[in-house]
Structure 1
Amino acid sequence: MSGGMASALNIVAYLSLFAGVGVVFLFVNLLVGRFVRPSDPHEEKLEIYECGEPTIGSSFVQFDLRFYVVALLFIIFDVEVAFFFPWATVFGKATNLMNDSVEVIADDGGLTPAAAGVMAELGVSQPTVPRTVPASLRREFMAEFNSEEVASADQAAFVVHRGFRQLALSALIDIAVFFAVLMVGFFYVWRRGDLDWVRALGREKAVQRRGPPSGADTAQAVSV
């Protein structure tokens, strides 16, 4: 059996085991609760939960659509918060290593365990000390050391710190663009009046009462 097939079978086996344990755990708890919990029916237990609609009148009624509009907009904009977690992780690690006071080069000339660990968490497969200067840092490196090659630990630390400073700056630009797009969507729904609990319908009703333009109005507009 090939290594890829064995890896796929292992993944399926682990997923099946996880699902089986979850299902068994759920039903065992329900079964135990069935025999252990006390039976104490009460009218208060049948009342509505917090924020529920009062059970007054017939249940065959249509709820106000404004509830659904507000709830939908809340879900749309609230889900955007999930995108902050990966960004905050990258930005936090980048700002940590961009600090010049943080040691990134060990005494033996390699990366410190902390720096290597952060780079691995950011997706670098084999974190190593930089031996060349990236094109984006070449001008700044030349102004600082008057050289184009990394020949010392201080120069390597400079490349690491400045590289993570660029990463933090790009993360700030990314989140600024994200906020701009989010605010455009927010402004759009606000401009449409979707955020108003009671929408102003005076202009629409006035247009409906006035009706389509008459023949005289059309002829006057054409002559003008």
Structure 2
Amino acid sequence: MFDPVLVTGFLALFVAVGGIFLAVNLVVGWLVRPRMPNTEKLEVYECGEPTIGSSFVQFDLRFYVVALLFIIFDVEVALFFPWATVFGKATQLADPVVSSVEADGVTLTPAVAGVYRELGVANPAVPAIAPPKQFRFAAEATAVAESSGEVRQLESEWAVAESGRMLARTAVIDMAIFYAVLLIGFAYVWYRGDLDWVRAVANQRASGLTNAGRSS
């Protein structure tokens, strides 16, 4: 696990460097920019459309619907980034090409141990996942030197890869559920007609009058 004090120090250093960089640019711009005030530049708006008429303009409410949809889906897309990070590290663990265990069959390699720490495991170790019997027989048959150490290394590497595959499957299922809930809400709003650019208000009023006539 990362030291909270160290992480806080990095964050404070990042904020300080960003603030200093911004302040230096503002000061340099204030010192070197030309100063040529005139009547046009001293007006309320230096650029853009001229200020004609009232500033209180009522926008069409349909634009608010589009803006809200953009904000909602923009936030949802931002939630994909931490999931993608976990999924990527899980696929790294499941990669059979990566050497994950040392020759003793017990100690993880520094790279794989670092991946586990990035996933939040404080003390990384070989997962306690027993391989199936067919894998054990295959490992014993393909071992160059028929020693218990080499077979144990193969079994430990299989356990690490299996833990990565399990985590990747869990991540895919989790994201599928999340995306399904999002699409269900989107489909419901679409079914209600809230996404229509021009809503048939007259039809709604007519149906309301018809229902009122039936009830009376």
Name the TM-score class by shorter chain.
0.7 to 0.9
Give the aligned partner of residue 192 of structure 2. 192
**Paired residue for 1:125?**
122
CA 1:85–1:155: 2 relative to 1, 3 Å: same
TM-score by length of structure 2 reads 0.72
> Which one of 129, 132, 147 corresponds to residue 141 of structure 1?
132
Deviation at 1:129, TM superposition (A): 2.9
Structure 2 residue identity aligned to 1:123 = G
Q: Matched residue of 1:58: which SS?
A: coil
Shift of 1:213: 2.5
Query: How many residues are aligned here?
Result: 193
Aligned-residue Cα RMSD (Å) equals: 3.4
After TM superposition, list the pairs within 5 Å mapping 1:35-114 onto structure 2: 35-39=31-35, 46-47=47-48, 57-109=53-105, 110-114=107-111
Q: Given the superposition, is the C-alpha separation of residues 55 and 95 from structure 1 closer, same or farther in structure 2, using an over 3 Å criterion?
A: farther
TM-score using structure 1 length: 0.70
Equivalent residue, structure 1, for 2:141: none
Residues 208 and 185 of structure 1: CA distance in aligned 2, closer, same or farther (over 3 Å):
closer
C-alpha spacing 1:194/1:55, structure 2 compared with 1 (3 Å) = farther
- Work out which structure has the larger RCO, using CA pairs closer than 8 Å and 6 or more positions apart in sequence: 2
One-letter amino acid of the counterpart of residue 115, structure 2? V
Per-residue deviation, residues 75-119 of structure 1 (Å, max 9, x unmatched): 011111111111111111111221223211123442122211111
2:175 alignment partner in structure 1: 175
1:141 maps to amino acid: P
What residue in structure 1 maps to residue 145 of structure 2? none
Seen in structure 2, the aligned counterparts of structure 1 residues 27 and 165 have a Cα distance that, compared at 3 Å, is closer
CA distance in 2, matches of 1:205, 1:178: 37
Letter in 2 for 1:126: N
Structure-2 separation of matches of 1:62 and 1:182? 31
